[in-house]
Structure 1
Amino acid sequence: MSLEELWRLFPIILREHSDDYARWYEEEKEKLTKLLADFEIQRMNHIGSTSVEGLIAKPIVDILLELPDGYELNRVSELLQKSGWLLMMSDEKKQTLDLNKGYTPAGFAEKVYHLHIKVLGDWDELYFKDYLCKYSEAARQYEELKLSLKARYEHNRDAYTDAKTDFVRKYSQKARQEFGPRYSVK
């Protein structure tokens, strides 16, 4: 399947916030905690727009799972894939994995997840979420941006994501300035 065909099958969809997202996250967190019990999970968070109450979002629950430096990346990847996750990206040098679940040959399943695995760290995703949760005006601006980008890039996920980058960086930096080193690793 070509990239264009994939984007047609899995377009950018934006929906009103649903309370189901928090429940879906908790369900998946419990499964991941059991599956990866041997790996000393350092921290797990619901991130992305579905984690911000009231914000429109792609109906995809993003999870940031942090493991200790030097974790067995290939073993974690193998366990997750055997459990139904699809590997999107693996970077052994950076010790990152990106996986998804809920993408079917017929399109999106009812529950769709993106799992981002990194070593424990001071990640912008956490700051950005915190900022949007605290400042509803920034969340509204982000919502307006996403709606305008969906109109242009409904079938081009990469362009949609790239076009949000400056906004995300700006508010992640503001969050870091305001919240200080709340996610720093000691």
Structure 2
Amino acid sequence: MKRTLSSNERISHIGSTAIPSIWAKPIVDILVEIPKERNLLEYKVPIINNGYICMSKSENGLSFNKGYTEKGFAERVFHLHLRYAGNNNELYFRDYLIEHPDTAREYEKLKLKLWKKYEYNRDGYTNAKTEFVKQYTAKARALYENRY
């Protein structure tokens, strides 16, 4: 895997497990930014060959999961988000929550409230958090400007 992603711009730990002040499911979200001149699809097969499942594909990114089983989560679960450099709103959102613990706790409460409702509907769960995430990502982008 290291060789597959050796031409990246940046690898970052994102998602709730990157926020030390809140509870998180044991799922590690990883954002890999690649140079804009590379083709995202050249990474797909090598990542799949490393045990990941491609969950979604768009013109701007690929999303992979590893650690799901027929009986639920394995001991370790990873979500790998492959994007072009600069497509990294998650870094701003993460930093904002780390630096604003009250907002992080609001996010934690929202996630816990939505968890049972959308336990078997990952897309529904993600969509239900979207407004909160957009609101604070915009604040973070304004506050941190061109941090990344």
- Residues 103-114 of structure 1 correspond to what in structure 2 (within 5 A)? 103-114=68-79
Structure 2 unaligned regions, length at least 5: none
Question: In the alignment, which residue of structure 2 is the partner of 1:180?
Answer: 145
The RMSD of aligned alpha carbons is 1.4
| Richer in strand (by share) | 2
Matching residue of 2:15:
48
Give the alignment of 1:12-161 within 5 angstroms: 32-37=1-6, 40-91=7-58, 93-94=59-60, 96-161=61-126
Q: Percent identity, please.
A: 46
Amino acid at match of 1:64: L
Q: Distance in 1 between matches of 2:114 and 2:34?
A: 33
State the AA in 1 paired with 2:128. Answer: A
Task: State the Cα deviation string for residues 20-79 of structure 1 (Å, max 9, x = none).
Answer: xxxxxxxxxxxx433322xx2100100000101031112210000011113233331111
Q: Answer yes or no: is the 8 Å Cα contact 1:33–1:41 preserved in 2.
A: no
Aligned to 1:72, the other structure's residue is in SS state coil
The amino acid of 1:109's aligned partner reads A
Match of 1:116, as an amino acid?
Answer: H
Q: Compare the two structures and name the one with the higher helix fraction.
A: 1
Structure-2 residue corresponding to 1:4:
none
Distance in structure 2 (CA, Å) of the matches to 1:133 and 1:55: 9
CA distance in 1 between counterparts of 2:87 and 2:146 reads: 8
Counterpart residue identity of residue 65, structure 1: V
TM-superposed deviation, 1:104: 1.5
Gaps in structure 1 of 5+ consecutive residues:
1-31
Could you tell me how far 1:105 is from its partner in structure 2?
2.2
Cα distance in structure 2, aligned partners of 1:128 and 1:111: 24
- Is the Cα contact below 8 Å between 1:102 and 1:109 reproduced in 2? yes
Distance 1:45 1:78 in 2: 21
Aligned length in residues = 148
Structure 1 residues 115 and 163: alpha-carbon distance in aligned structure 2, compared to 1, 3 A threshold: same
In the superposition, the TM-score normalised over structure 1's length comes to 0.75
Confirm or deny: 8 A CA contact 2:19 2:98 kept in the other structure. Answer: yes
What secondary structure, in the 3-state scheme, does the structure 2 residue paired with 1:36 have? coil
User: CA shift at 1:122, angstroms?
Assistant: 4.6
Greater Cα radius of gyration, structure 1 or 2: 1
